Amino acid sequence: MRNIIFILLLFCPFLLLAQEVDRTLINGFITAPASEDIEGVSVYNKSTQKGTVTNDKGEFKLEVGNNDRVLVTALQFQSFTVIVDKGVVDSKTMKIYLNPAVNQLEEVIVRPYDLSGNIVADVNRVKTYTFVPKMDLSYEALNFEYEFTADALTKVDGNAAEEALHNNSLKNGANLLGIIGLLFPKDINIDLITNKSIEDRLQISRTLRQRFSNAYIFETFEIPKEKANDFLFFVEEHGLTETMLKAENEMKLLDFMYKQSELYKNNREQN
């Protein structure tokens, strides 16, 4: 029995040597799309736990044997393992083509202001502010540091409708101050009444001008731009009130303006 064990121990080194794989130094070549850098690609033989990296031409040298597993890795390429076969060992050449890595990101939905899609909830979350300028930004109140001479675009002097509105001199040929003087007792300050009325009318006129441009009137009510001022005077003379200009009455104001635009266009056609 001892002799058998001795013989087995005697032949074990020869058996282990017989299991060693003969490895050959091969020349490797890495190729990739023209725009990709192939320098510094890692080529690692997992069977021998030895590796190397490619030069600027994508070339490398590595000892491999039949059925060795060679791992190829790089940040810009897809990693994969190559199994060495007898053809690679015999030719002492390995050619590897690399595909650029494509990272597929998870779907990201970008919404402005973190909207949830629920109209009611989103509207309630929106912060709104009411801006009331302390300065009068109307065209009439702006001061320009330029002098303009009269030309073809200068407005025509003697516009009776505009003068009646802004100067309160005549209304349909009648003096407003005289009419108001007849309606109220003499002990009432007529100047205070007329001044307040004039200021209200001017405020309405300025507000209309700020909110409705010539282009808007043309696109919305189909009224020529050159008739925009005349149309606004028409609206003021046919029932427009300061209450309609409040924010909560926006729809009422637009409905009123639309109806008045139809009347205005009918009057123009008849005239």
Which of 57-61, 92-96, 242-246 is predicted least confidently? 242-246
pLDDT at 70: 94
- Band (150; pLDDT cuts 50, 70, 90): low
- Band (54; pLDDT cuts 50, 70, 90): very high
pLDDT at 188: 42
**Average pLDDT of the segment spanning 161-169:** 53
* Cβ atoms within 10 Å of 151's Cβ, excluding its own: 6
Domain count, the chain: 2
Instruction: Report the alpha-carbon distance of residue 39 to residue 98 in Å, rounded.
Output: 12
Which of 50-59, 120-129, 260-269 is predicted least confidently? 120-129
Q: Which of 50, 75, 97 is the endpoint of a domain?
A: 97
Instruction: Report the alpha-carbon distance of residue 43 to residue 45 in Å, rounded.
Output: 7
The yes-or-no verdict on residue 155 having pLDDT over 70 is: no
Residue 164 lies in a domain: yes
By the 10 Å C-beta count (0-12 exposed, 13-18 middle, 19+ buried), 257 is classed as buried
pLDDT at 205: 81
Residue 4 lies in a domain: no
pTM: 0.34
CATH of the domain at 89: 2.60.40.4130
**Average pLDDT of the segment spanning 67-72:** 94
Instruction: Report the alpha-carbon distance of residue 79 to residue 210 in Å, rounded.
Output: 66
Residue 127 lies in a domain: no
Q: List pLDDT tens digits, range 120-133.
A: 666 677 666 665 55
Instruction: Report the alpha-carbon distance of residue 50 to residue 27 in Å, rounded.
Output: 15
The yes-or-no verdict on residue 249 having pLDDT over 70 is: yes
**173 in the same domain as 93:** no
Residue 270, CA distances (Å) to 127, 167, 257, 264, 266 in order: 49, 29, 20, 10, 6
pLDDT > 70: percent of the chain: 57
Those residues with Cβ within 8 angstroms of residue 52's Cβ, 6 or more apart along the chain or in another chain: 43, 60, 61, 62
pLDDT at 160: 56
Residue pair 98/68 in contact (Cβ under 8 Å)? The answer is no
pLDDT at 144: 47
Q: Domain containing 181: what range?
A: 160-270
Q: Which of 97, 116, 148 is the endpoint of a domain?
A: 97
**261 in the same domain as 169:** yes
Which own/partner pairs from 48-53 qualify as long-range (CB within 8 Å, at least 24 positions apart)? Answer: 48/23
Residue 258 lies in a domain: yes
Residue 168 lies in a domain: yes
Look-up: residue for tokens 């924010």? 247
Q: List pLDDT tens digits, range 182-206.
A: 444 454 444 444 444 677 777 888 8
- Band (99; pLDDT cuts 50, 70, 90): confident
SS3 label, residue 62 = strand
Instruction: Report the alpha-carbon distance of residue 27 to residue 77 in Å, rounded.
Output: 21
Q: Which of 97, 118, 151 is the endpoint of a domain?
A: 97
Residue 199 lies in a domain: yes
Most confident of 12-21, 142-151, 208-217: 208-217
Mean pLDDT, the chain, as a whole number?
74
The yes-or-no verdict on residue 174 having pLDDT over 80 is: no
Residue 124 lies in a domain: no
HSE toward the beta carbon, residue 231, CA cutoff 13 A = 30
Residue 183 lies in a domain: yes
**173 in the same domain as 245:** yes
